[in-house]
Amino acid sequence: MEEPSVSAFNVHGVNDVRHTEIHIAVPLVSELSAFEVAMAIEKLKRHKSPGNDQFPAGLIKAGGRTIHTQLYKRINYI
C-alpha cells in the first residue's frame, strides 16, 4: 500500500512553520487610584434608595477603611 502524501493531510514540514502572533488586551481605562475611589464614595448621598446592587450608600460610607479598600480592589480587578 502506498503512503499518502504529506500534503494530503495538510501537514507542513518543519521548515514551513510560521510564527504565531499573540495579541494582548490593553485596558482602555487606567487603574483608579485609592484617592479617586475615596472621592467617589464621599460624593454618595446617604439617604437615597439603593440601586440594583441593593447596597445603601450610607452603608458604604460608614464601612470605613476596610470597605473602601475592598471596593478599590474590586473596582480595579473588574
Distance of CA 57 to the CA centre of its chain: 24
Query: H helices of the chain, where?
Result: 34-42, 57-62, 64-77
Closest C-alpha among 68, 15, 17 to residue 44: 68
Q: What is the pTM for the complete model shown? A: 0.55
The pLDDT, as a whole number, for residue 29 is 78
Q: Where are the domains of the chain?
A: 6-77
pLDDT, position 22: 76
Q: Cell for 51?
A: 440601586
User: Residue 7 has what pLDDT?
Assistant: 52
Model pLDDT, residue 38: 92
Q: Running along the chain, 78 residues long, what does each successive block of 10 average in pLDDT?
A: 54 60 77 92 86 85 91 90
Determine the pLDDT at residue 74: 92
